[in-house]
Structure 1
Amino acid sequence: MSILLILGFSGLFLGYKYFINEYDERITDTILEPRAHISTDGPYILYDKDSVQTIYVDDEEGDYAIQKHKTSIDEFDRKVEVKVFTHDQKEKEIFSVSLADTLEATPSEYLASQKIMAISNIEGNFYILRKLLRANGIIDEDCNWAFGKGHLVLMGDFVHRGLNVTQCLWLCYKLEQQAKDAGGAVHFLLGNHEAMNMYGDLVHVRSKYKRLAEKLGMDYSGDILGENSELGRWLRKKNVVEKIGNYLFVHGGLSKRIVNLKISIDSLNKYARHYYGVDYDHIRADPMAGLVFGKWGPLWYRGYMRNPKDTVLQEIQSIQQAFGVDHIVIGHTEVEAIKLIHGRNLVNINVPYPRYNQADQRGYALWIENQTFYATDDLGHRVELKETQ
């Protein structure tokens, strides 16, 4: 009973604290995050037949107000502004995004690239995403693409828990368009949290987003990030696994059960996209869909980090043979440091990210250049990774 009372009083204290400070990202567990308000967010662009509605949340005379603007599709300005707050930049940063003329399904396979940077599990943490991208020359000071023909791989779980989920998605959206124009590429893979968002499991969604949906009389998954929203449509075009040269990128992993299906990467992605946004009860009713979106599927699988070494080596070899790759890069399962596992066959890059300037904690990403692996941090310092057994 005493523990429950302590948690209750802690919740009240945290609720008050978060009511007066939208910048504080320290609490990432939504169970202890009873926010009582909405805060800076958007834009959400929602389509309805011949009209477009744009929704923002912004400061207005010391409070937060929802701003809605509806226009015809013909008159809609396809360039939007995104406002971002972070603890280290109280004056909101603004970057612009030009909407794509069309949104098409992302290819599953790409030719080799001389330079690749991969990031996983950002979870709405715009602060560290921006630091990593700027420090490593991926973007300039105005959040524009600066990586030329390089490839940036964003390996899922960019939503939930953080206070800048929408802004992180818009930055990825923007960079994808700019990279394509420069001859490079941005690969946004889905993780289990993006999938949860789309089929309505909101257990890890910060309350500011749920409260906004309530105030709008909408559903967060089905409306705000639904198939009739720009970001929702964009997410529904994404893959669960991609191949770049001889590298395979997947959020969780490909279990033996998936490999035994003997289907191509493209077929696996097409099948997964068919079920984006479908209620999870219907997903489980289809054995194949239940496999793809369950614990043995590419979004949730943790076997590489938990199974015996011999079993993992067999799994890796089966993937290498089935899909013609040498290296597998994963996120999802948290590790203390980016590491090469079983020689150079497997790389896990899901290292916890700081949410504040901390001298003793850095944010890390994977850097691949000329077939050499490096861990690079949010200051741009790189260390070559050593092979392990």
Structure 2
Amino acid sequence: MPRFWTRLLAALTALFVLILVARSYNVSAQFQFSWPLAVHPDGQNEGLQIPLNTGKSADMTNAHKQGQATSIAPGTFSRKIVAVGDLHGDLGNAHKVLEMAGVVTEEGKWSGNVDFFVQTGDIIDRGDDTIKLYDWMEELRAQALEKSGNVISHLGNHEWMNVIGDWRYVPQTEIKTFGNPGARQQELMTGRIGKRWAQNYSTTSRLPLHPSLGEPNTDYDPSDKSPLSHAAVSFVHGGLSPTYPDLTPFPSKINDLGHSLLHKLQHRNPPPAPHPPNPYPGLTHDATPAEHRLYETNGPLWYRGWALESEQKVCAAVDAVLQKTGTRRMIMGHTPDFEKIVSRCGGKIVIIDTGISHAYGGVLAALSIEYTLKPLSEPSSSGAKRWTEREVVTAVYMDHRDVLAVNQREIEGSF
């Protein structure tokens, strides 16, 4: 064979091989591999496998921002929520948890990989990073809004203790970060941190899983008979007691009481001298009976019944509270379990305080809620549009994930 034809054949063969290799890479890039995988240790997840890697590809992130999950039908809505409990003055561990859960990047910036980040209170006390933590929360709040995200913040019992003047859990080293006790007190009353509490923090929240229910903290409408009427989650620091009389309308009743009481406490003139060493100041003289109930043991800041009562008792009482608040599950901090996030009654009650702060030495953990509403191709016999609604609740740890609840059903309607 002439040399020219030999060289041409070799070149064509090499080109053919390169095309095959390129095609194989393109094909493989279309598959989302999910190893390493973690399986729920109790086998309660029906074989569901969850990737340990919390990162998302650029395509996945873009689809998520548009409310669409990847690899499923067009028109599917998705929403991802991450919630974290008590931080108690530990910026380092807070950063680790939020990065682990995909809320922030390695540099501590908003990642864009979640729709809502919820913190259930008790950022203050027991550690020295009070100023740094509240500053970081505000930075994340602003960054989240730029990427169509949202940060939802709550006041815990320790925020309230400090504004009342109860400083029993304030380290002396933390006071020095403000300069002196007077500067710290002013900062929590009408200073930068105090203003943020008044503007950006609530006592409780109702977070819809689907936008047809309105913005976060839209009151539950008992007259709503839609299949999605209770497609929402409540967040609070302590708990929503079944005997607490101010649950409805939810959440505005509780939050209005909180805003009113906070204003009274922050504008006492002069503010009471901190306890200790001075006497415990208590609430203001003009606090209403309802404002006193807010701060009592049975109120949303201190209630521990969902964490401490028997399984039989709490599971018998939880549905009535969920019905009143128009929610499917209650998420709370306050009562720590230093080994795990605690799920009760099939995920209707979830307690997320795991002692994240080095003051406790507990486990680093976050809660993830992933919600999808996927349209089905065939309408119902009545011609109504059909959907598959799915909600996965997962406890996220540094080295594994535990699926706490998987709820899926088919519904009809226009959303």
TM-score by length of 2: 0.60
Q: Which moved more, 1:366-375 or 1:155-164?
A: 366-375
The answer (yes or no) to whether the contact 2:110–2:144 under 8 Å persists in 1 is yes
Higher share in strand: 1
Match of 1:186 in 2: 151
Q: Does 1:165 align with 2:126?
A: no
Match of 2:364 in 1: 363
CA distance in structure 2 between the partners assigned to 1:272 and 1:196 by the alignment? 13
Q: Does 1:254 align with 2:219?
A: no
CA distance in structure 1 between the partners assigned to 2:159 and 2:287 by the alignment? 20
Q: Does 1:344 align with 2:347?
A: yes
Secondary structure at the counterpart of residue 350 of structure 2: strand
Match of 2:54 in 1: none
Match of 1:382 in 2: 401
Please tell me the root mean square deviation across aligned C-alpha atoms, in Å. Answer: 2.5
Match of 1:313 in 2: 315
CA distance in structure 2 between the partners assigned to 1:121 and 1:217 by the alignment? 24
Secondary structure at the counterpart of residue 299 of structure 1: coil
Does the C-alpha gap of structure 1 residues 260 and 160 become closer, same or farther in structure 2, counting only changes over 3 Å?
Answer: closer
1:105-140 residue CA offsets vs partner (Å, 9 max, x unmatched): xxxxxxx96211111111011111111122232112
Instruction: Tell me by how many angstroms 1:199 deviates.
Output: 1.4
Secondary structure at the counterpart of residue 161 of structure 2: helix
Matches within 5 A, 1:231-310: 231-237=193-199, 238-245=201-208, 246-259=232-245, 262-276=248-262, 278=265, 280-282=282-284, 286-310=288-312
Match of 1:230 in 2: 192
Does the C-alpha gap of structure 1 residues 149 and 182 become closer, same or farther in structure 2, counting only changes over 3 Å?
Answer: farther
Secondary structure at the counterpart of residue 243 of structure 1: strand
The answer (yes or no) to whether the contact 1:119–1:366 under 8 Å persists in 2 is yes
The answer (yes or no) to whether the contact 1:188–1:239 under 8 Å persists in 2 is yes
Secondary structure at the counterpart of residue 244 of structure 1: strand
Secondary structure at the counterpart of residue 124 of structure 2: coil
Match of 2:393 in 1: 373
The answer (yes or no) to whether the contact 2:204–2:251 under 8 Å persists in 1 is yes
Q: Which amino acid aligns with 2:258?
A: A
The answer (yes or no) to whether the contact 1:153–1:188 under 8 Å persists in 2 is yes
The answer (yes or no) to whether the contact 1:127–1:355 under 8 Å persists in 2 is no
Match of 1:325 in 2: 327
Q: Which amino acid aligns with 2:120?
A: M
Instruction: Tell me by how many angstroms 1:261 deviates.
Output: 5.5
Secondary structure at the counterpart of residue 395 of structure 2: strand
Instruction: Tell me by how many angstroms 1:178 deviates.
Output: 1.1
CA distance in structure 2 between the partners assigned to 1:348 and 1:283 by the alignment? 34
CA distance in structure 2 between the partners assigned to 1:128 and 1:303 by the alignment? 28
CA distance in structure 2 between the partners assigned to 1:172 and 1:217 by the alignment? 23
CA distance in structure 1 between the partners assigned to 2:300 and 2:141 by the alignment? 23
Does the C-alpha gap of structure 1 residues 125 and 346 become closer, same or farther in structure 2, counting only changes over 3 Å?
Answer: same
Secondary structure at the counterpart of residue 272 of structure 1: helix
The answer (yes or no) to whether the contact 1:148–1:179 under 8 Å persists in 2 is no
Secondary structure at the counterpart of residue 374 of structure 1: strand
Does the C-alpha gap of structure 1 residues 313 and 174 become closer, same or farther in structure 2, counting only changes over 3 Å?
Answer: same
Gaps of 5+ in 1: 1-111
The answer (yes or no) to whether the contact 1:189–1:250 under 8 Å persists in 2 is yes
TM-score by length of 1: 0.64
Identity of matched residues, %: 26
The answer (yes or no) to whether the contact 1:255–1:315 under 8 Å persists in 2 is no
The answer (yes or no) to whether the contact 2:126–2:169 under 8 Å persists in 1 is yes
The answer (yes or no) to whether the contact 2:129–2:174 under 8 Å persists in 1 is no
The answer (yes or no) to whether the contact 1:155–1:188 under 8 Å persists in 2 is yes
Does the C-alpha gap of structure 1 residues 284 and 365 become closer, same or farther in structure 2, counting only changes over 3 Å?
Answer: farther
CA distance in structure 1 between the partners assigned to 2:94 and 2:247 by the alignment? 36
Instruction: Tell me by how many angstroms 1:386 deviates.
Output: 5.6
Match of 1:127 in 2: 92
1:183-239 residue CA offsets vs partner (Å, 9 max, x unmatched): 1111111110011111111111111233466x5572523x02222x12210012211
Instruction: Tell me by how many angstroms 1:355 deviates.
Output: 3.0
CA distance in structure 2 between the partners assigned to 1:306 and 1:327 by the alignment? 17
Q: Which amino acid aligns with 2:205?
A: E
Instruction: Tell me by how many angstroms 1:289 deviates.
Output: 1.1
CA distance in structure 2 between the partners assigned to 1:339 and 1:114 by the alignment? 23
CA distance in structure 2 between the partners assigned to 1:160 and 1:113 by the alignment? 36
Does the C-alpha gap of structure 1 residues 285 and 366 become closer, same or farther in structure 2, counting only changes over 3 Å?
Answer: same
Does the C-alpha gap of structure 1 residues 283 and 363 become closer, same or farther in structure 2, counting only changes over 3 Å?
Answer: farther
Does the C-alpha gap of structure 1 residues 217 and 363 become closer, same or farther in structure 2, counting only changes over 3 Å?
Answer: closer
Q: Which amino acid aligns with 2:106?
A: E
Q: Does 1:205 align with 2:170?
A: yes
Does the C-alpha gap of structure 1 residues 285 and 141 become closer, same or farther in structure 2, counting only changes over 3 Å?
Answer: closer
Secondary structure at the counterpart of residue 137 of structure 2: helix
